[in-house]
Amino acid sequence: MRRLFLVLFMLSSITAVAAGQDDEIQRLQTALSMLNQEQLSVYQQFQMVQEMRRSNVQPSYGTIMLPVPGGEIANYDDVVAAQNNVIRRNEELAQEAYRLVTRYGEIEEAKKPLQQQILRLMDGNK
């Protein structure tokens, strides 16, 4: 009779440990999913910044100043200011792209321990 109780007790404790591992795996997978979503968001932001960089008109020095609508010749200072704004905007977009690439890598590094722990727990369940 004692052996039966001992076996039942051991089975119930094994079941409780397995349930605890399943809960831990679920918690880790939820955290991993959140990181994946954040990483996807960062990647989409990066794509938008890259497209903005491509569409930003590059200043070309030495070009003829075209007349503005209305037949007037563009003011030299206005043209130089516009070119400087384009250059400044390109630099800002490049910095933002770099920041997003860095953040993407940080998220990737944060995912690795979670993935390893999930694999360890799943191997332990077999």
Q: Where are the domains of the chain?
A: 21-61+75-125
- Which residue type is seen at 71? G
Per-residue pLDDT tens digits for 94-104:
999 999 999 99
Integer Cα distance of 31 and 3 in angstroms = 42
The fold of the 21-61+75-125 domain, in CATH, is Helix Hairpins (1.10.287)
For 56-72, what is the mean pLDDT?
64
In degrees to the nearest 10, what's the CA dihedral of 96, 101, 107, 108?
180
pTM of the model: 0.70
In whole angstroms, how large is the CA radius of gyration of the chain? 30
Predicted pLDDT of residue 5: 47
